Copies of this chain bind each other. A is one copy, B any other.
Amino acid sequence: MRMIQRPAACCATPSEPPPLPDSETLVARFKALGDATRLEVFRLIAAQEAPLCACDIVDRFDVSQPTISHHLRVLRQAGLITATKRGVWMYYAVVPRGVAALGQFLAGSVQESAAAAD
């Protein structure tokens, strides 16, 4: 038997979050950006006006080439960057749609809570 009564806000059924089309993808993208090295790699790619060669990325970091390759794969599998092969070189560029999806999710999150904040 519950001795302490819950306040009204506790008992009222909380609002359901809006249905999320692809939660798994969202998690993968946030996780992909949730690593210091990987975020820097992403930032470097995003800062370019043209697809960036992998060699240029490796040159700029202290970690090994396989590690950079691994990070690039994670970012690519998350749908945040694309990889294009030209000859021996791989060129990476941001996928605007993938990044925008994250932004839209965040925008929706603040919008919902904005109704409450005075």
Interface residues of A (CB under 8 A from B): 4, 6-7, 9-10, 14-18, 20, 23-24, 26-28, 30-36, 39-40, 42-53, 55-56, 60, 86-89, 91, 93-94, 96, 99-100, 102-103, 106-110, 112-117
* In the complex, residue of chain B having the shortest beta-carbon distance to the beta carbon of A57: B14
Q: How far is the CA of A14 from the CA of B41 in the complex (A)?
A: 12
Copies in the complex: 2
Contact of A7 among B30, B42, B53, B114 (CB under 8 A): B53
Other-chain residue from B7, B42, B47, B55 in contact with A89 (beta carbon distance below 8 A)? B7
Cβ A113 vs Cβ B46 within 8 A: yes
- What is the CB-to-nearest-CB distance from A31 to chain B, in angstroms, rounded to a whole number? 3
